[in-house]
Chains A and B, each alone.
Chain A
Amino acid sequence: MLKMQDVSKVYRTDLIETYALREFSLEVSAGEFVAITGPSGSGKTTFLNVAGLLENFETGSYRIDGTDVRGLSDDQRSRLRNERIGFIFQSFNLIPDLNIYDNVDVPLRYRRLSTRERHERIGSALDLVGLSSRMKHMPSQLSGGQQQRVAIARAIAGDPAFLLADEPTGNLDSLMARQVMELLEQINELGTTILLVTHDPELARRAQRNVHLVDGQISDFRTYEPRAAPDAGLAHA
């Protein structure tokens, strides 16, 4: 379903080359909930960007649903992102000039959908995150947790196969973080594959599978039972 084979990603600046991903291989199947952990700078965001087609990679191969993404044009990649992938960002990235409704509407606007269908999808996505009463509010009128829930609604409104979340709870307090996590689990249960980058070992432990990155490589991974009890040994490798 999502398969990376020996993917390498290099950032070249004037002087140095940084291998953000080093012959990285990973396979994620439909419906999985994968947590990606690792120290800062280990390549977590890079991995998500490559997985989500936000960035290209140098070597290796990457297939989504069996399609090699290497040969795709920019437009085709946009289309894949729009239809198959949903994003949740650490800093929410809501558009400040648009109200909640219009923010959730953004990805749907880039698809051929009837007004009615868009309206229904926005409604049910906002229902799911419990914010349908705030449709007309502006992002600045919401708390951080609420903003992230809007971002989740935006990500799932397009009914994606994958949900990529880059430290979605990084800017939230623990209560809010738990709410967001519960929401993600709920979405996963509805069948969406989730890749979650997080610092928080407690949240990571709640995933089915845990991938630990160090220097752009997987150093250790382990499969957890869903909703497994905390395993203290994993926190920092």
Chain B
Amino acid sequence: MSLSVRPILSALMRNRTGAVLVAMQVAIALAVLVNALYIVVQRIEKMQRPLGIDVDNIFVVQASGFTDRYDQTSSMREDIDYLRSLPGVVAASPSNGIPLSGSGSATTLTAHPGVHSTDGFNYYEVDEQGLDALGVRLVAGRNFRHGDIEPSRAKNDASSFVSNVILSRATALRLFGQDDPLGKAVYDDLGQSATVVGIVDPVIGAWVGDRHPDWVMFMSRLPSGRYGAVRYLVRTRPGARDAAMQQAESHLSRSNPDRVITFVRTLNYFRDLSYLGDRSMGIYLLTVTLLMVAVTCLGIFALATFNVTTRTRQIGTRRAVGARRADIVQYFLVENGLITTAGVVGGCALALATGYWLSIQYELPRLNLYFLVGGVLLLWGIGQLAALQPARRAATVPPSVATRNV
């Protein structure tokens, strides 16, 4: 290399304010970029977690009875029969809750009676089409049969358990470890037991942000609707959902004057709602980070441009004493490289400190160092790109400016 770094560095040190300012920008941008990307990647991972549910083809109906004439059992029967008769519907089941919705019911559950536990498991009361209505995959045992399904709990029964349950694999692992859970009993906090007849995997419950969103249990019983509403989960063939929704809404809202249809919504609606925070966080982080990198680039570009304009005569002199165009380009790129390197070094420290703070905020593992390396390379590359145009322009300065007074 015809240019060594020392004289460039010493020239730089004599005009360091601008360089220091740009290096500071690079440092902050690196710290933010690396950590923002780290968070975004984790959010994306969270959002891309396998749900095990055929989300795109499911819609949910909520119905609330509100008069004394309302008979939930017959109303539910009629509604479900109607929903199943709709064209394109694959399966429909009543349910006490809606997966991915952010609200639902949970209960404690143990593998032995009388054992104390605080683990909460999200449960769904469904009939024999419950698994199909969600499209979850049975990986062991059997589905509920029509004869398994118990009637809704009576108004004055808040605590009886069921005979048969289907667990998510995560639930089974939590309760039984590596043992085969099929045929085993699970106990509620009153010591009542139910038999595990099947295992599904994967599946997700109501709370996507929970530490264990896949601790899920299905119970072979019609929901009680005791909090005023029952839900129907309806799954259709691909493409048939929207038409079925419309038909369901217009029919059900008129079929029974003693209850009201609160909503008919796609499951996508609930999923999007659950991930809204993550999605908007991701979008916001990326936008601001991009803006910040852009501003930093402009800073680098402006400093390089400024340096080129104020050094026209110097460039001409260098050309006059034999510098090739490539040497001039190289000079400015090396100078820029020195500034970005200084910024990047400071930025690494800043990024690690920020990562540490974030790991406390989010109780997350520390910043992955690959991100840091990637960020360093990226900013360094971007910095060189930003300086390239001014450097090229510098190379077009004719050598004769050395002799002409400008």
Contacts and interface: CB of A to CB of B under 8 A. Distances in A.
Interface in A88-135: 89-91, 93, 95-99, 102, 105-107, 109-112
Interface stretch (B4-12, B192-200, B363-371): B4-12
Interface string B367-406: 0000000000000000000000000000000111011110
Main secondary structure on A side of the interface with B: mixed
Contacts of B10: 97-99, 102
Contacts of A49: 400, 403
A208 interface: no
Interface string B297-329: 000000000000000011011111111111100
A36 interface: no
Interface in A26-41: none
B159 interface: no
B320 A81 contact: yes
B308 to A, nearest CB: 14
A24 interface: no
Contacts, number: 93
Main secondary structure on B side of the interface with A: helix
Nearest to B400: A54
A127 B97 CA distance: 93
A82 interface: yes
Interface string B174-202: 00000000000000000000000000000
A14 interface: no
Most buried by A among B14, B319, B326, B403: B403
Contacts of A43: none
Chain B: interface size category: 20 to 34
A227 B7 CA distance: 41
Contacts of B11: 95, 97-98
A91 B398 CA distance: 17
A98 B9 CA distance: 10
Contacts of B400: 49, 54-55
B3 interface: yes
Contacts of A106: 317-318, 321
Given A102-B7, A112-B2, A95 B398 contact: no
Contacts of A89: 317, 402-403
Contacts of A98: 7, 10-11
Nearest to B14: A97
Given A97-B10, A109-B7, A87 B402 contact: yes
A45 interface: yes
A222 to B, nearest CB: 26
Contacts of A79: 322, 324
Interface in B1-27: 2-4, 7, 10-11, 14-15
Contact of B325 (A74, A81, A97, A166): A74
Given A54-B398, A97-B15, A110 B403 contact: no
Given A48-B403, A54-B402, A87 B2 contact: no
A110 B399 contact: no
A109 B4 contact: yes
A96 B7 CA distance: 12
A109 B324 contact: no
Contact of A55 (B321, B325, B398): B398
Chain A: interface size category: 35 or more
A64 B399 CA distance: 19
A95 B317 contact: yes
A233 to B, nearest CB: 30
B405 A105 contact: no
Contacts of A97: 10-11, 14-15
A122 to B, nearest CB: 12
Given A45-B403, A49-B403, A98-B7, A54 B320 contact: yes
A98 B318 CA distance: 13
Contacts of B322: 78-79, 81-83, 107, 110-111, 158
Contact of B399 (A81, A154, A155): A81
A145 interface: no
Contacts of A216: none
Given A49-B400, A54-B400, A93-B317, A78 B405 contact: no
A110 B320 contact: no
Contacts of A78: 319, 322-325, 327
Given A54-B319, A86-B321, A98-B11, 6 more contacts: A54-B402, A55-B399, A93-B402, A105-B7, A109-B3, A158-B321
17 contacts: A45-B403, A54-B319, A54-B403, A55-B398, A74-B324, A79-B322, A81-B321, A93-B313, A95-B317, A97-B15, A98-B10, A102-B7, A106-B317, A106-B321, A109-B3, A109-B4, A110-B322
Interface of A: 45, 48-49, 52-55, 74-75, 78-79, 81-83, 86-87, 89-91, 93, 95-99, 102, 105-107, 109-112, 154-155, 158, 166
